[in-house]
Amino acid sequence: QKEVEQNSGPLSVPEGAIASLNCTYSDRGSQSFFWYRQYSGKSPELIMSIYSNGDKEDGRFTAQLNKASQYVSLLIRDSQPSDSATYLCAVRVTGANNLFFGTGTRLTVIP
Amino acid sequence: GAGVSQSPSNKVTEKGKDVELRCDPISGHTALYWYRQSLGQGLEFLIYFQGNSAPDKSGLPSDRFSAERTGGSVSTLTIQRTQQEDSAVYLCASSWEGGAGQPQHFGDGTRLSIL
């Protein structure tokens, strides 16, 4: 069983719509959760971090964490073509020094 | 300030050769991580350095892989006797310290191709 699971997509949304990206994790004691954006051929870029249950908003991005259900999601409001990328969910698992990454969800925003 | 710097950006070498990949973390960051990303795969942890502590080598796939970090700053990842399955993008990340809440910031990676 993988530590972090994401739907690989591709997920296509029209410009201006809300994109919803989901991630589940297996370690109930996980402490920290991150969303990275990765453009093709580029390195992962941190866009959101969340540590406690609930919602965290930053501009057009909202991260949602539900530890009881072991999922974390990312909402992108007013999606733009420039948001087209692969979104990686990363989890800091209890007792580990590294992040565990999902394989990413590829998002395409259609103009 | 400058981000995480990695060199070379691309490396093509023949099977069986040794390669060295370099990472210069963000100034002041004490924690340094190496990951690799194969085509269509998630990031795979390799090794972690924190200050002067012994490194966490739990992710290294074989004894052909080694890494060192000199002076608490620059790190070098060495792959000996390269194999074709070593072809991947090798990513270095750093953070202020190794705590669970610290976000990791990535360099642009080294794309390694083994012929």
- What confidence tens digit (pLDDT) does each residue in B35-57 have? 999 987 889 999 999 988 899 99
State the pLDDT confidence band at B1, using cuts at 50, 70 and 90. Answer: low
What is the C-alpha to C-alpha distance for residues A14 and B84, in angstroms, rounded to an integer? 40
**Phi and psi of A72, rounded to 5°?**
-135, 140
Percent of chain A residues topping a pLDDT of 90:
82
Among A111, A17, A6, A7, smallest CA distance to A60 is for A17
Which chain A residues are within 8 Å of B43, Cβ to Cβ? 44, 88, 90, 99, 101
CB–CB contacts below 8 A, A to B: 53
CA neighbours within 13 Å on the CB side: how many for B1? 9
Residues A15-62 pLDDT 10s:
999 999 999 999 988 989 999 999 998 999 999 999 999 999 999 999
Q: Do A101 and B104 touch (CB under 8 A)?
A: no
Q: Do A98 and B35 touch (CB under 8 A)?
A: yes
Residue A111 has pLDDT above 70, yes or no: yes
Instruction: Quote the pLDDT of residue A3.
Output: 87
Residue A63 has pLDDT above 90, yes or no: yes
Instruction: Quote the pLDDT of residue A51.
Output: 94
Q: Do B40 and A92 touch (CB under 8 A)?
A: no
Residues B54-100 pLDDT 10s:
999 999 999 999 999 988 799 999 999 999 999 999 999 999 887 77
Which residue in the set B41, B50, B106 is minimally distant from A43, CB to CB?
Answer: B106
Under the phi-then-psi rule, with left for phi > 0, alpha for psi from -120 to 50, and beta for the rest, what region is B100? alpha
CB B109 within 8 A of CB B6: yes
With CA atoms as reference, the chain B residue closest to A39 would be B108
Distances in whole angstroms, Cα of residue A75 to Cα of each of A22, A60, A91, B95, B103? 9, 8, 17, 25, 20
